[in-house]
Amino acid sequence: MRPTIKDIAERAGVSKTTVSFALNDPSRISVETYNRVMSIVTELDYVPSPVARTLTTKRLGALGLLLPQPITEALRNPYVVEIVRGIGELCAERELSLTMLPPLRGRVLEAARRAFVDGLITIGVGPDHEVVELLNRRRIPFVTIDGADTDATVNVGVDDEGAAYGLMRHLLDLGHRRVAILALMPDTIKLPEERFSLVRDRRIAGFSRALAELSLSLESPGICVVPAESSIEGGDAAVSALLARSGEPLPTAVVAMADIVALGAYEACRKAGLAIPGDLSVAGFDDIPLAESANPPLTTIHQPGRKKGAAAAALVVELLDGVDAEHRRVLHRCLETRLVVRASTAAPRPDPAASGLARASSPAS
Amino acid sequence: MRPTIKDIAERAGVSKTTVSFALNDPSRISVETYNRVMSIVTELDYVPSPVARTLTTKRLGALGLLLPQPITEALRNPYVVEIVRGIGELCAERELSLTMLPPLRGRVLEAARRAFVDGLITIGVGPDHEVVELLNRRRIPFVTIDGADTDATVNVGVDDEGAAYGLMRHLLDLGHRRVAILALMPDTIKLPEERFSLVRDRRIAGFSRALAELSLSLESPGICVVPAESSIEGGDAAVSALLARSGEPLPTAVVAMADIVALGAYEACRKAGLAIPGDLSVAGFDDIPLAESANPPLTTIHQPGRKKGAAAAALVVELLDGVDAEHRRVLHRCLETRLVVRASTAAPRPDPAASGLARASSPAS
DNA sequence: GTCGATAGCTAAACCGCTTTAGTAATACGG
DNA sequence: CCGTATTACTAAAGCGGTTTAGCTATCGAC
């Protein structure tokens, strides 16, 4: 159906080689021949099969994004969408296409093996992930987003620990002492030894550090960590359950590891008739586009999702280009985050039970 | 680097053919040989090159989504994200990957030519689009989303005209007589003869019909159609400009052809200090996830974006499977829409200038 | 007039796989 | 014991390109 190089060659009365030259290196043939060949190419609307071409050139013109979840799930999180958009920026620039690679048979590894691309980008894959070993062994250029800065991977990320510290500090400074942390779910498709995501762990560490400054910890009364799926529903469910918990005093603040989860918390508050931030302060992480226009606008950690994607893609392309150059040095890119205080966080209502104490001044630094 | 079938064959002391059989049709070889081959396959972590395989099998396990805009732009609209998620559902089911194909050198056609996929899905491509001719000529299975129901294409869509009618009717019934329509931008990468998108035209037609029932038209005073880019910023800009317009009375309602644009209108109102729906009613189209949680919740036309994507993908797969069967009949799938009345629309304030009239009862049907 | 370049083209190998056609060996029916 | 299936395997062709090596004709230089 689709014309092949042979068809063109025959029609033009030349060899396949000549057609190939016309397309790839016109200087090697005469102008007349070039014109003749190209007119047929245009007439038949011929485009060399990228598949066949790849067989020899090893270049496909496609970047792959290894997703930790099925496409449907992954794109529920606007933060992921932002990353994809960032990668898209570079794709446009370099005329690359982008292939989304969901786990195959439940394994990211399978998807990576079958991947049909020049280079790969992963989200949330740590250096111990089985996929890293495979890709390094096969020398497939790849860059991790939100992975870790080790020799095994080229990574683009942020200072999760520091950002989390800042966020928790903000809440503590406001006077909150009973705060619930909505943590990212342990990623089911990770390897056993990496049960919790790196990002989660680093943020937990940051939260802990801030708490420690007030002699608090994750185990202190009033502080709790509950897992929530990265979606509105996930946040809603987690907070609704929290609010329904009887016996203990309710938290005065909720901090989510993803804005989308924080917005789920909004939903739960609405149902429970709780005012934000009057009854409950809510903070998020990511600063997705919605965060600003939410009601109330969400206090969160701004994370440059688009830039992350773009930076990762740029690095992959760099790896792609500099494969032979000894250039292939391990690189890490750490992008900036910042605390964006909006209207969803405020000082807690004075606690009738323990007034005076809850209102403690800001801690020693 | 990556082992080839030859490596496996040599190590196992068999021919390439035998290895191929082991992988694709074990029944054709003895159990012992199978085991021997597979142990080497496992040992070397061998996976057949999808590229090479494709050359002969003509199947590469990927669906392509032809985007009318660069990835970054396209994914700004959550409605598009929903469609992608829908396609993702089917991809997960059939273990396919999804390739996003932004225009190449400004042309969708170029992207289609180079596409590296088994089947394609397009968004907003009409039967007259150059790409349709190409794909039909090449017999590449493809399905259009929001295209048109003609013989040239297999399409998945909704009754845009009817939905638009219902939406406008809702506003008119509330008593609005001065309404601004925020229309989709003419798509720059379309062919000249198809300057405006089909969807836009059909919705405009629906609006017109509703207006006509009250002896109004798009040209009537108070009614206006302004183009807006499909993004929050686009809606914000368009409505801000509208509000800044001096001389004419302001519209009492704004109806956008995309929720994301309607949310931009929210933004413009906030800046202008206008209350929704008190000062201005706002309605959208699509019912993206945000619409419900926006403040106020947005009145809109619910469109099953996910289902559209899933249905389109299902049709492509069907085409893929039934290529030989004379099965390849032209199909059209029209999904349901429904008007979702939320809190962003209400009766306009009584017009001091023309009271009594503006409050006319609902029109004769 | 011969030789070496150079320009312009092509045959053939190759990329890594599938598939067709065929071979050799064993099993089976009469 | 012969002819025919059946089983287990392989050689080779082919998919659609690129690339290497080589061939032929023309041309300029000595």
- The answer to whether A2 contacts chain B (CB < 8 Å) is yes
Q: What are phi and psi of A51, to 5 degrees?
A: -65, -55
Q: Is the pLDDT of residue B14 over 70?
A: yes
Strands B300-302 and B338-340: what pairing? antiparallel
Mark yes or no for CB contact A92/B70 under 8 Å: yes
Band (pLDDT 50/70/90 cuts) for residue B320 is: confident
Q: By the 8 A CB rule, do B62 and A114 touch? A: no
SS3 A338: strand
Phi then psi for B98, rounded to 5 degrees?
Answer: -120, 125
Strands B97-101 and A97-101, sheet pairing: antiparallel
Q: Is the Cβ–Cβ distance between A148 and A155 less than 8 Å?
A: yes
| The token pair that represents A197 in the structure block | 């995501």
Q: Which of B5, B51, B104 to mutate to test the interface with A (most CBs of A within 10 A)?
A: B51
| Domain boundaries for CATH 3.40.50.2300 within chain A | 62-158+305-336, 160-299
For B22-139, list the strands marked E by DSSP: 62-66, 97-101, 119-123
Which pLDDT score, from 0 to 100, does residue B365 have? 39
B121 min Cα distance to partner chain A (Å):
14
Query: Around Cβ A37, how many Cβ atoms within 10 Å?
Result: 25
Nucleotides of chain D within 7 Å of a protein C-beta?
7-12, 14-21
**B51 contacts A51? CB cut-off 8 A:** yes
Angle at CA A283, nearest 5°, toward A280 and A286? 160
- Within the 103-122 window of chain B, which residues sit less than 8 Å (CB to CB) from chain A? 104-105, 111, 113-116
Of all residues in chain B, the percent with pLDDT exceeding 70 is: 91
Q: Where in chain B is the domain with CATH 1.10.260?
A: 5-48
Tokens 């898209």 belong to residue: A88
Written as one letter, the residue type at B284 is: G
- For chain B, give the mean pLDDT: 87
pLDDT score for A353 = 55
The number of helices, as runs of H, and strands, as runs of E, in chain A is 14, 12
Across the interface, of B61, B85, B101, the residue whose CB is closest to A97 is B101
Q: Flag whether pLDDT at B318 surpasses 80.
A: yes
A56 touches chain B (CB under 8 A): no
| Positions in chain A whose pLDDT score sits under 70 | 186-196, 323-330, 351-365
Which residues, at least 6 apart from B215, have a Cβ–Cβ distance to it below 8 Å?
A: none
> Residue B247 CB: number of other CB atoms within 10 A?
4
Q: Which CATH superfamily is domain A62-158+305-336 in?
A: Response regulator (3.40.50.2300)
> B217 pLDDT band (50/70/90 cuts)?
very high
Please give the Cα distance from A64 to B163 (Å, whole number).
Answer: 38
Element (H, E) at B226: strand B224-228
Which pLDDT score, from 0 to 100, does residue B140 have? Answer: 86
Retrieve residue B269's tokens: 């109102």
Select the residue of A1, A76, A137 nearest B139 (Cβ to Cβ): A1
3-state secondary structure of B109: helix
Tally C-beta pairs within 8 A across A and B: 150
pLDDT on residue A171: 97
- SS3 percent helix, strand, coil of chain A, rounded to 5, is 45, 15, 40
Cβ-Cβ contacts under 8 Å, A84 against chain B: 71, 75
> Class for domain B62-158+305-337, per CATH?
alpha beta
CB contact (8 A) between residue B88 and residue A70? yes
Distance from CA of B79 to the nearest CA of A (A): 12
* pLDDT at B324 exceeding the cut of 80: no
- A160-299 is classed CATH 3.30.365.10: no
> Least CB-CB distance to A100: which of B98, B139, B290?
B98
Mention the CATH class of domain A5-48. mainly alpha
- List B residues 291-320 in contact with A (Cβ-Cβ < 8 A): 293-295, 306
* Predicted pLDDT of residue A191: 42
At A147-159, the pLDDT tens digits run 988 888 899 999 9
Q: Is pLDDT at B49 greater than 60 in this prediction? A: yes
Of A92, A101, A232, the CB nearest to B97: A101
**A263 — contact with chain B (CB < 8 Å)?**
yes
Cα–Cα distance between A31 and A361 in angstroms, integer? 82
C-alpha–C-alpha distance, residues A157 and B283, integer Å: 39
How far is A272 from A274, CA to CA, in rounded Å? 5
B58 touches chain A (CB under 8 A): no
* CATH code of the domain occupying B160-302: 3.40.50.2300
How many residues are given for chain A? 365
pLDDT at B52 over 60: yes
Q: What is the pLDDT of residues A33-66, one digit of tens each?
A: 999 999 999 999 898 988 899 888 888 888 999 9
CB–CB of B67/B101 below 8 Å? yes
Q: Does the beta-carbon distance from B290 to A295 stay under 8 Å? A: no
